[in-house]
Chain A
Amino acid sequence: MEVKATMSETTKPATTTAGESQSWTLRARQAVERNLPMDHLLPDRQPYYIGSWVYVFGVITIATLVWVIVSGVVLSFFGPQWWHDSNVGRFFNSLHYWSVQLFFVFMVLHLWGQYFMAGWRDGRAATWMIGVVIFGISILTAFTGYLSQQNFAAQFVALNAKDAMNGAGIGVFFNVLNFGQMYGLHVMLLPIGVTFLVVAHIVMVRARGVVKPIDAEGGARP
């Protein structure tokens, strides 16, 4: 009988009764539908003024992040020593390395582009601020990656970095000489943080749409 009742619920129209209005699930769905309709999330039309290469930097940054994650997943699957002894491993490490370099190049271009466009206008300050946080966490992720390389550069970067970390009192929680801690942060916690915030950043951009040109009618000043 319980199954029957559940099926009848699913066939009900979207109108709500007094009981349903208490449903957190329904209210969450309605909030998403109100704030992020699919035609905003995946729009097929955009304002005519976005015909500039600067808009492409953000998309390319996402594309490089995908390659960073894909190559990183392969490397983490086979373990931190694999790429030192295997040609295939070395190739995937190189793919990871160059994807990261490209990721930063395009992220910085995207950041400067958004600065000169004052992309935070018209209620988009939070999007800008999350972008800065993504930039910071990405630097930390890349840094732990350098420390996880298990080669000479990793040794010396760790030895130098320990003084900065210890001098600022951070070293007691973030021991750059502890490979296990740096590797764990690099392959799990920090990438999850970057990915989550990038998704939030994209959703915020799509929810509000791209900002109007500076001094456009109906748009705020920077």
Chain B
Amino acid sequence: MRPMGATQEAYYRGVRMVPYDLVKELMLAMAGIGVVAVLFAAFLSSPDVAPVTIATWSQSDPIDFVTTATGELSGSTTSAGYGQPYNSTPDVAQSWGPISPQAWFGIRIPVDSANAFVIEPLQRASFSNTDLGTSLSTWQNASADQQAKWLDAYTTALADATVTDGKVAVAAGTYGPLPVMMSNLLGVAQSGGLDGLLVINGRFYQTDYTQPLLFMGDGGYLDSLATQANLTGDLWGMMNETGQYPGQTWLWLYTMWYQVPPFTSDTGFLGVNAGNADLVVIILMTALTIVLALVPFIPILRDIPRWLPIHRLIWRQYYRPRKSAPTRV
């Protein structure tokens, strides 16, 4: 095999070579980009909207918080019925024909929403609270049927709940221990305690926010803030940023698929629909990336540059008609 050094000598044989200072060009580029980036940073700053905490959520929208927590107990929230990798809800994993990697990999990040987000924090909070301890015992000793009746009644009542001094009040009814449990959970949340309880998990150092994020994602408060900030998926959210700043604009193609059929359709086409859009969009983007990498070997795609005259603009010096004998190569 010919060494590349010799190959280059042969490749450029007969081509007119001119002085060119690559290092100077790089230094000038670094200086120029540095000036532009520093000016942008100094005058435009960067986006930084403070994160939502469970405390701010429960203080700003206590009814949404209590409704979400009640939903965790009844198993009606997104995280409670998510399926893999969090739990084992059947028939919810995305699939396209026989392809269902979500189901294949199983439960690898176990999340028991009712226990993790409601019961366990309340057990910790009941340490010096006998009323709460008694209510928790009543709840845990009740039959599943009885729990379901209390939950149904309480969930219905929450639709007309009112807030007084940050506390949620519902019309009188048969809710069992739920009002005491939810009142205490709301109090712990509003004090900021639940933010800590959901990330402790028996460890001191912690960098995994899976549980509090899933819990907040189950509620409507975070979503309403995201809608105001144009961050939701149906608003090209993945490539947007808070404020007037550019976001991940390079994700435009990925985000675009979520705005068009069949990825927005319930009925779909060739088994692709809104229900398995995440899976198929990832497959599609992977395939397109592979196609882009293999462009040099794909007829038509590799020929387009020769058909379009754009290269004649780029190399106009080379293609410029010459009066004298050609000395191009």
Contact B209 A178, beta carbon cutoff 8 Å: yes
B window 284-312: CB within 8 A of A: 289, 292-297, 302-303, 305-306, 308, 310-311
Given the complex of chains A and B, what is the CA–CA distance between A178 and B212 in angstroms?
11
Contact A177 B214, beta carbon cutoff 8 Å: yes
B291 CB → nearest A CB, Å: 10
Interface string of B87-109 (1 = CB under 8 A from A): 00000001000001110111011
**Of all chain A residues, which has the CB nearest B16?**
A48
Contact B22 A43, beta carbon cutoff 8 Å: yes
| A-B residue pair count with CB separations less than 8 angstroms | 303
Q: Which of B108, B222, B281, B311 has the most CB of A within 10 A?
A: B311
Interface string of A196-216 (1 = CB under 8 A from B): 000000000001110011111
Given the complex of chains A and B, what is the CA–CA distance between A164 and B101 in angstroms?
12
Given the complex of chains A and B, what is the CA–CA distance between A64 and B34 in angstroms?
8
**Interface size of A in residues (CB-CB distance below 8 Å):** 103
Contact A116 B329, beta carbon cutoff 8 Å: no
Looking at chain B's contact residues, the main secondary structure is helix
Interface string of A108-128 (1 = CB under 8 A from B): 100001011110111111001
Partner pick for B311 among A117, A133, A149, A163, CB 8 A cutoff: A117
Contact A160 B237, beta carbon cutoff 8 Å: yes
Chain B residues closer than 8 Å to A66, beta-carbon distance: 30
Contact A45 B20, beta carbon cutoff 8 Å: yes
Chain A residues closer than 8 Å to B34, beta-carbon distance: 63, 67
Chain A residues closer than 8 Å to B8, beta-carbon distance: 40, 207-209
- 20 chain-A/chain-B pairs, Cβ below 8 angstroms: A36-B5, A40-B4, A48-B15, A51-B317, A52-B315, A59-B29, A62-B26, A63-B26, A67-B30, A102-B36, A104-B250, A115-B305, A155-B216, A157-B237, A167-B277, A167-B278, A170-B101, A172-B84, A175-B109, A217-B329
- Name 17 extra pairs, CB < 8 A, besides A155-B213, A168-B94, A181-B207: A43-B22, A45-B17, A46-B17, A46-B18, A91-B42, A98-B46, A116-B310, A122-B11, A125-B297, A142-B248, A151-B242, A152-B51, A152-B242, A156-B225, A169-B105, A208-B8, A209-B11
Which residues of B pack against A, CB within 8 Å?
3-8, 11-23, 25-26, 29-30, 32-34, 36-38, 40-42, 44-52, 82, 84-85, 94, 100-102, 104-106, 108-109, 207-210, 213-214, 216-217, 222, 225-226, 229, 231-233, 237-238, 241-242, 245-251, 276-279, 281-283, 289, 292-297, 302-303, 305-306, 308, 310-311, 314-319, 328-329
